[in-house]
Amino acid sequence: MKLTFLGANHEVTGSCTMLEAAGQRFLIDYGMEQGKNVYENQPLPVAPGEIDFVLITHAHIDHTGLLPLLAHNGFRGRIYATIPTVELCGIMLRDSAHIQEFEAEWKNRKGKRSGAEPVEPMYTVQDAEAACRLFRGVEYGKRIELAPGIEARFVDVGHLLGSASIELWITEGSTTTKLVFSGDIGNLEQPIIKDPTYIQQADYVFMESTYGDRNHDPRPDYVAELAKILQRTFDRGGNVVVPSFAVGRTQEMLYFLREIKEKGLVKGHGNFPVYIDSPLATEATRIFRDTDPDCFDAQTRALLEKGIDPINVPGLRISVTSDDSRMINTDRTPKVILSASGMCEAGRIRHHLKHNLWRPECTILFVGFQAVGTLGRTLIEGVDSVKLFGEPIEVKAEICQLTGMSGHADKDGLLRWVNAFTEKPRRVFVIHGEDEVENRFVDTLTEQGFAACAPYNGAQWAIGAEGAVCLQEGTKVRVEQRTGEGANRAATVFQRLLSAGKRLLRVIEHNEGGANRIWPNLPTRSTLCATNGTGNAAAFCSRAAREKRSSVKGFRVHCTAEKREEIFVKNR
C-alpha cells in the first residue's frame, strides 16, 4: 500500500491523507486550511472522480471543509463518518458554503470599483448539499467492510460530539496490516461528551500533535472561574463576549452557564441575558439535544434521566437574522454573547469585537485553541489595536482565557493515548501539529522507544512486508519564503517593464513629428505604442503603474495577504 500526506503536516489545519491499497484509493479527511498557511497543502495527485471513498474523523471544517469542492469536481463515492458527525456536517458544510458565496460576492462588489476580474466562490451551497448526500452514518464500535480487503471501525476519541479514531484493517495477499488514524484526540473530563477510548493494537499509527510540546494548565473549577469573570464584568457595566466554536464549545459554555444560574453564583444582575449569535451554533445545539444519549458522558446522561436539559439556560436568547445580531449591541444591559467563529477569523464575532474591544468595561473571553496567525491568537498575545472591516480598533477590553479548557489532549494526554497500545507500533507518523511542535513530539516519542517521524506535505510512503519505506520527501519550503521570492521577482519584472515604458516615452517625445523616421529602430514589442502615438504611450506607462498591484501575480498575492483581516476567511 502507498500513503501520500497531503495536508496538516507541520501545521494544524487542512487534514488530508490519501491511501492506495487493496485496489482502492481513498482519503482520510479532506479539510480546509485556516489561519496562517505555513506549508502549502498538496493538491490531490489524481482526479476526484478516481477517489473511491472518504473516511471522516470529525466534523470540524479543518477536517471536512473541502468535501464540497471534491463533490463539485466529480467525486461520487461514499463518505463514511459516525452518525453525529454526519448530522453536524450537514449544517457545517452548508454554512461554509454560505461563507464562500458571501466572500466572493463581497470581493466582487469591491472589485467593480477597481475594475478587477470577477471571482467565483470556492464552492456553493449546491456543492455542499451534493457532498452531504454522499455521507453514510456508521455506529461507534462496529467493524464494517468498505471494499474487499479493507475494513474499518470508528472509536470514540472524545474531542467533539461524533469524533472518532479510525481503525483500518488492510489485507493484501495473505498479509493483513492494521493502521490507526487518531483524529483529534480529546481532553479528559470535558462536559457532555465521553473521554477518549484507547486502542490496544496497531501496526502503524498516524497521530495528531496539536499540544505535543506542552501541557494544559491545572484544570480549574470552570463554573467558579466563569462566575468570577461574569461578576466583575457585569459590575463594571460591560459585556462578556465569548468567541466560541459553534459546535462543541458553545454547548459546553451553555452547560456551565446553566449551572451558574441554577446555583445563583452571579449576584446583583438577576437573570442576565445570554445570547447565541450564530445560526450554526443554534442548529448545532439542536443536534446535541437530538443525539442518542449513549454518546454523552455519565453526568450528562444522569441529568437527562432527571428530565433536566443540560444546555437549556434560563434567559437564553437566539439571534437568527442580521438585524437580531445588530440589536444586541444597542442594548447596554450587561450580557453574555456567544458567537462564532472561535478564532475570530470569520462570522458575527468580528462585529461584536468591533463594538466591544474598545470598551474597558467589557471582557473578551477565549475558551479554545487559537492557531498562529488568527485574530484570536493576536488578541491573546496582547496587541494594542486591531483592524476590523478596515477600521482600526483599540484594544481596551479585558482579555481573558479559561486555561485548560481545550478539546485537545495535551502532551501527557497524547502520550497516554499512544502508550495504551500493548505493543509499540512499528512506526508512528506524527501529523496535525505546528512545525516545531511536531519535531519536538517526535523527539519525545523517540526517547520513549517509538520509531517516529513527522512527514511534510507531499511525502509518500510505502508499507509492505518489509516495513515502511519513504518513497518521496515532502516539501519543506515555507509559504512565506516562496511568496516573498515571488514578490521580489514580480517587483523586478514590473520595474523593468516600467523603465522600458519610460524610455519609449522619451524616444517618442524626442522624435515628435517624425514618427515614421524612428520605425526601424523600435523593438517589435513596442510597435503598438508607437503606432498609437505619444499620448497612448504615456497612457501605457500610467496604466502600468496603476496595475502594479493587480496585473503582476506576485503583487496580487502579497496584497491579498495584507488585507486578510478585512475579509471573511473560513475555521476550526
**Residue-wise DSSP of 473-502:** ------HHHHHHHHHHHHHHHHHHHHHHHH
- Helix 553-562 vs helix 479-510: crossing angle, to nearest 10: 130
Coil, helix or strand at residue 20? strand
CA distances, 215 to each of 77, 209, 210, 433 (Å):
40, 12, 11, 14
Q: What percent of the chain has pLDDT above 70?
A: 84
505: pLDDT confidence band, cut at 50, 70 and 90? low
CA distances, 19 to each of 22, 49, 556 (Å):
10, 15, 35
Q: How far apart are CA 392 and CA 385, in angstroms?
A: 7
Mean pLDDT of 418-429: 98
Mean pLDDT of 521-533: 37
477: pLDDT confidence band, cut at 50, 70 and 90? confident
Conformational region of residue 173, where left means phi above 0, alpha means psi within -120 to 50, and beta covers everything else:
left
113: pLDDT confidence band, cut at 50, 70 and 90? confident
Q: How far apart are CA 144 and CA 154, in angstroms?
A: 9
507: pLDDT confidence band, cut at 50, 70 and 90? low
Mean pLDDT of 17-40: 91
Omega cis (within 30) before 526: no
Is the per-residue pLDDT at 293 higher than 60?
A: yes
Beta strands 204-208 and 175-181 are parallel
pLDDT digits (tens, 9 = 90+) for 179-228: 999 999 999 999 999 999 999 999 999 999 999 999 998 888 999 999 99
| Per-residue confidence (pLDDT) for residue 93, from 0 to 100 | 97
CA distances, 370 to each of 18, 35, 36, 406 (Å):
27, 9, 11, 10
Joined together, the cell numbers standing for residue 296 give: 454523552
Coil, helix or strand at residue 571? coil
Coil, helix or strand at residue 507? helix
403: pLDDT confidence band, cut at 50, 70 and 90? confident
* Mean pLDDT lowest among 72-86, 145-159, 363-377, 411-425: 363-377
Is there a contact between 93 and 67 (Cβ–Cβ < 8 Å)? yes
* Selection from 212, 239, 163 nearest residue 400 by Cα: 239
* Selection from 113, 368, 430 nearest residue 379 by Cα: 368
Helix residue ranges, H only, 237-348: 249-263, 279-290, 298-305, 322-328
* Amino acid (one-letter) located at 67: L
Output the pTM of the full model. 0.79
Q: How far apart are CA 346 and CA 311, in angstroms?
A: 25
Average pLDDT value for the chain: 86
128: pLDDT confidence band, cut at 50, 70 and 90? very high
CA distances, 200 to each of 144, 155, 158, 419, 467 (Å):
19, 12, 17, 9, 20
Beta strands 452-453 and 427-431 are parallel
Q: How far apart are CA 572 and CA 245, in angstroms?
A: 7
Is there a contact between 288 and 330 (Cβ–Cβ < 8 Å)? no
* Amino acid (one-letter) located at 498: L
DSSP 101-119: HHHHHHHHHHHHHHTPPP-
Q: How far apart are CA 336 and CA 239, in angstroms?
A: 6
Mean pLDDT of 7-31: 97
Is the per-residue pLDDT at 569 higher than 80?
A: no
H or E element, residue 177: strand 175-181
Q: Is the dihedral of CA 170, 176, 178, 179 positive or negative?
A: negative
529: pLDDT confidence band, cut at 50, 70 and 90? very low
Q: How far apart are CA 462 and CA 19, in angstroms?
A: 10
| Per-residue confidence (pLDDT) for residue 69, from 0 to 100 | 97
* Amino acid (one-letter) located at 124: T
Is there a contact between 192 and 301 (Cβ–Cβ < 8 Å)? no
* Amino acid (one-letter) located at 313: V
Is the per-residue pLDDT at 557 higher than 70?
A: no
Q: For the chain, first and last CA: distance in Å?
A: 31
Q: Is 196 exposed, middle or buried (0-12, 13-18, 19+ CB in 10 A)?
A: buried
* Selection from 151, 149, 180 nearest residue 80 by Cα: 151
pLDDT digits (tens, 9 = 90+) for 311-353: 999 989 999 888 999 999 899 999 999 998 888 988 899 999 9
| Per-residue confidence (pLDDT) for residue 523, from 0 to 100 | 42
Coil, helix or strand at residue 143? coil
| Residue 291 CB neighbour total at 10 angstroms | 18
Reported for 152-155, long-range contacts at CB under 8 A and 24+ positions apart, including other chains, are: 152/55, 152/80, 154/81, 154/82, 155/197, 155/199
